Amino acid sequence: MSRMNDTLDELLKVAKTPDQTWAFEQFSIAQDAFHRNLIDESYEYINKAITGDNNNAGYRLEHRFYTLRGLIHLGNYKNCTDKYFDIPQAIEEFLLASKYSSGVDKKASSRNYGLAGYACYCIGNFEDAKKYLRQSITLNPNDGLSKYDLAKVHFHEEDTVNGKIHFKGCLLVDHMYGIRAASDPDLLKNKSYIEDVIQECIREVRTQIDQYVKYFREINYHHLETSVKYAYKYSNFDFLKEMKEYFQKESNLSLGELLNYNDKIYYIEKDVREGFDDIKKKINKSIRDVKSSQSKNKRHKISWPVVIAISIILSLLSSAGGDGAGNGLATGLLGGLIFGIPVGYIVSFILEIRDKMNHGLWKEAEVEKLNKALEEIERIGSKR
């Protein structure tokens, strides 16, 4: 039972008042007694935790208290005694536990609905059993036990369609439910349906794995990595090769083995997806940097040619229309500006401009290459 094995230190972290601290201490003792099959003592202390005693108020709002008291009333093969065995009372306790956990622990609320549903199944109240088990699954879609119990209810009602649906659901959460079903009298009556579901799951998981393998083959790691010089964030890629070789040798893998492979591949795909996101961010940043660099180069490239052009125009105007001292001064200054610059500096400047133009063309090619890499990543990523 989820969170039924909390240590006293963990429980006391939740306590906010002396009464709550005392109540959690009583609960811890009740837990210990329950695990040792000391049911009288467990029941005594769990009641104290809830209602208190002459000196302490107890704490009525802790969901775990009602779960434990419900388990005592539900009984099991170890502690099923007439003194405490009371399934309707157990259902009430589980529903209270679900109520008090709904705002603080969604999974605990789900589990308590599951226990209430199972208890209803035990006394033949199938409608309430289905209602509570469905509530459990709604709160926690990964609650395999509630799916397993709901399958049992449907099979008992000879609703094999829904029975198979929910049994398949619990298998995909944990394949061990298939082993459990092999020794469950309630499900052995429907052995052929159970076997059909297991084989169907095996086929579907195999198909899923095949799709994963095909997906990874589509990814051209080396091309993309050299294009953007940025490694993928992925792990265990060698596992895919190992899996492929294993499948070629083994054709009769169990559902458990297939699910194990499926889980590993899922996490590899998750890592690759994160890698895609990282690469896209890197490429987009590179594109922004390249464009920013291009803009700066263009501004720099324009400045000197404009200055020289203006100087030449002024020189021509001055030569054509001026005379006297002003003309001589203008001609001298402009002549010094144009012809006084060392020839070596002019040649160096021209070469610099040429290099910047070539650099700009390279930057444009780089942007185009990065955009193509980004398109390829988007194409591959959209396949999953």
- Reading the chain (384 residues) residue by residue, the pLDDT tens digits are 444 556 656 665 666 688 889 999 999 999 999 999 999 999 999 999 999 998 999 999 999 999 999 999 998 767 677 889 999 999 999 999 999 999 899 999 999 999 999 999 999 999 999 999 999 999 999 999 999 999 999 999 999 999 999 999 999 898 889 889 988 998 988 999 998 998 888 888 878 777 766 666 665 454 444 444 444 444 445 555 666 666 655 566 777 777 777 777 666 666 666 666 666 677 677 777 766 765 655 555 545 555 555 555 555 555 555 555 555 545 544 454 444 444 444 445 444 555 555 455 555 666 676 667 667 656 655 555
- Domain of residue 265, residue span: 208-279
Instruction: Tell me, yes or no, whether 115 and 31 share the same domain.
Output: yes
Instruction: Tell me, yes or no, whether 323 and 359 share the same domain.
Output: yes
The one-letter amino acid code at 361 reads L
Helices of type H across the chain: 8-14, 18-35, 39-51, 63-74, 87-101, 106-122, 126-139, 144-156, 160-173, 176-181, 185-188, 191-218, 221-228, 238-249, 255-321, 324-339, 343-381
Q: Is 186 inside any structural domain?
A: no
Q: Is the Cβ–Cβ distance between 130 and 119 less than 8 Å? A: no
Among 255, 279, 303, identify where a domain stops: 279
Domains identified in the chain, total number: 3
What's the pTM?
0.64
Give 226: exposed, middle or buried? Use CB within 10 Å, 0-12, 13-18, 19+.
exposed
Instruction: Tell me, yes or no, whether 274 and 297 share the same domain.
Output: no
Instruction: Tell me, yes or no, whether 311 and 369 share the same domain.
Output: yes
